[in-house]
Amino acid sequence: MRGVHVVMGVRNLSAGARVRDEILKQVPSAKIEILNLDLTSMSSVRRFAENFKALNLPLNILINNAGVCFVPFKLSEDDIELHFATNHIGLFLLTDLLIEKMKVTAIESGKEGRVVMVASVSYSFSYRGGIRFDKTNDESGYNKIFAYGQSKLANILHSNLLSSNLKEQDAKVTVNSLHPGAVVTNIMRHWYFVNGMLSTLGKFFVKGVEQGAATVCYVALHPQVAGVTGKYFVDCNVTELKSHALDMDLAKRLWDFSLNLIH
């Protein structure tokens, strides 16, 4: 509806095609591309970035939204714990591969670029002291709630440091993170009891998908957010973070750790 040419990165191409068709029914003029993207796989992320660049499209907005939640212990194909691999490393690599394109687009189009990181308040569940850098592939002491919270903390730390780095470079690209709120989706499918409660009673207590997308769209598109960077939004308002999510030393350790994993 805003005239944005959307490129959807999806694991399931047939499911993505159904979503595209549903959007086109509502907005026949919508421009939508679908490309395969599995964030658990670094090779898939690299292929997606190559395929996107081959489209020769500008890139003003990058919304890092996809993720997994409360998954039983499992390693990705790159031998990284699945929450950390999907929710952080996949998005870290994707952003790293596309950020130069965003900087160039901002200059050529004269429009500010925006990176939007969808995190959550669950970063508060992360291990005391922040991120356990030495335990990403170790099942001992594994807790799926903490693992999810740790990956969401990583999203916020990544967002904050990337924002700082781009400001130092005087790049015309902002970076913000946000909590979309509790939303009725199937993201809790690995926690059957909670998923059942959400699917039956959730509509009375938590947000629908459209409401859940509101803060994402606000941070990505709204003129009021122009020039705002390095912030955390809840319900379309800037919200204060807990101290460990503002720890720039921890953010730098995470950045270096992540670079080592992707190279």
Which position has the token pair 């999806």? Answer: 10
Short-list 72, 68, 74, 66, CA closest to 19: 66
The verdict on whether 148 is a catalytic residue reads: no
**Pairing, β 173-179 against β 232-234:** parallel
- Cβ-based neighbours of 20, under 8 Å, separated by 6 or more: 8, 32, 34
Give the helix/strand (H/E) hosting 103.
helix 90-109
- Cβ-based neighbours of 48, under 8 Å, separated by 6 or more: 9, 35, 36, 37, 94
Q: Is there a contact between 234 and 179 (Cβ–Cβ < 8 Å)? A: yes
Of the residues 123, 127, 142, 232, only one is catalytic, namely 142
What tokens appear for 64 in the block? 């890092």
CB atoms within 10 A of CB 73: 15
Strand partners, 33: 7
Which residues are annotated as catalytic?
A: 142
